[in-house]
Amino acid sequence: MATSPYSPLSQSPESVKLAWQTENLPFNAFGASLKRTFGGRIQRVSIDAGFTCPNVDGAMTKGGCNFCDNRSFSPSRRVRLKRVSEQLASGIAAVTERYKKVAGFIAYFQPATNTYAPVEQLEELFELSLSIDDRVVGLAVGTRPDCVPDCVLDLLERLAVDKHISLEFGMQTIHQAGLDWMNRAHDHASMINAIDRSRGRGFECCTHIILGIPGETHEMMMQTAEEVGRLGFDSIKLHNLYAVEGTPLGEDVKKGKTELMGREDYIQTVVDFLERIPPETIVERVSGEAPPNYLIAPKWCLEKSSVRLAIEGEFKRRGTRQGSKHVAPKVDPAKRSRPSDSTPEPIRDQIEKRSRLPVLKMQC
């Protein structure tokens, strides 16, 4: 098994300060963490290989998540889809022009479910992305918790021997009512099974959480925060529920059927949430954003910098920081047993047995 920088999370002794704490930061911010690891600025380059999702193609259900229009999450879905090699090369060029001093790049497979294809094809795709440019230091792969059979985790473990690999799970919430409302077509048990099979393999395990899901109380969102620590994720992305054009949620917001969280409530909730997760957890994002021409509401999420400053200001006002209210789980995540693979059979067939998918955009 690969030696991993991603050791299971546990509560740090009060006498030992983490790097971000010695720098007097309010939380363990992603950019600073990457800079400590690689010695300079690391930028992600979004890649769209043309994947779909099992709640879109009918493997589990149809319709997709009610908040999701991939055009709003990834620029590649707003234009003609280019080959992965071309996307990565042009993305690196654009970032290099914008930021003069960049130490490296992470190829970020972002929209849709990026492990939902035959594993041999995934291997070819990921290795291609890692070999195009010497400055590519790793991959980030966004997926669903029900789409990581052991063969995919074994692949990522092999890649993580030499490169930085981050597997990003869309957990969103631990509550079934919220998952059903989204039309996720998986339950939280799928997330538990996936993370317990992923932990300790040498790659980073990240989770995405949405705050402000209709019907979820503050207490329910804090229960999700506590679960992040219990399951031992290495990193987390938080964002507010927002509505974009062309989605069921967008239509409900326009008709007044769904109310979205206000800016001040969101800021307070984020700080409450971060106070409850382990101090070791890397915070990759604290708010969501969408292109102005796609966004319906709330408009305040366009003010990404000011939202972050407000979150940092609230930590300062309270005199707290990430992990201030964290309670270590009774069972250390490192001691949780690795369960059997519970990947649903229709998804397993897609990944383990199906022939190559011609829709995936590979090399020029």
- SS3 of residue 252 by DSSP: helix
- Nearest C-alpha neighbor of 344 from the set 173, 193, 182: 193
**E-assigned strands of 104-254?**
104-109, 136-143, 164-172, 204-211, 235-240, 243-244
Mean of all residue pLDDT scores within the chain: 91
- Owner of token pair 């972050």: 308
Residue 275's pLDDT is what?
A: 98
How far is 203 from 2, CA to CA, in rounded Å?
9
- Nearest C-alpha neighbor of 279 from the set 348, 224, 242, 328: 328
CA 336 from centroid of its chain's CA atoms:
22
Residue 267's pLDDT is what?
A: 98
The token pair at 277 is 């997760």
Reported pTM = 0.91
Give the residue ranges of the chain where pLDDT is below 70: 1-15, 70-81, 357-364
- Nearest C-alpha neighbor of 172 from the set 162, 182, 164: 182
Residue 9's pLDDT is what?
A: 43
Q: Dump pLDDT digits (tens) for 196-207.
A: 999 999 999 999
Residue 76's pLDDT is what?
A: 43
How far is 109 from 142, CA to CA, in rounded Å?
6
**Rounded to 5 degrees, what are φ and ψ at 164?**
-75, 120
Residues 6+ apart with CB under 8 A from 94: none
Element (H, E) at 21: helix 19-22
Cβ atoms of 33 and 21 closer than 8 Å: no
> What is the dihedral sign for C-alpha 356, 359, 362, 364?
positive
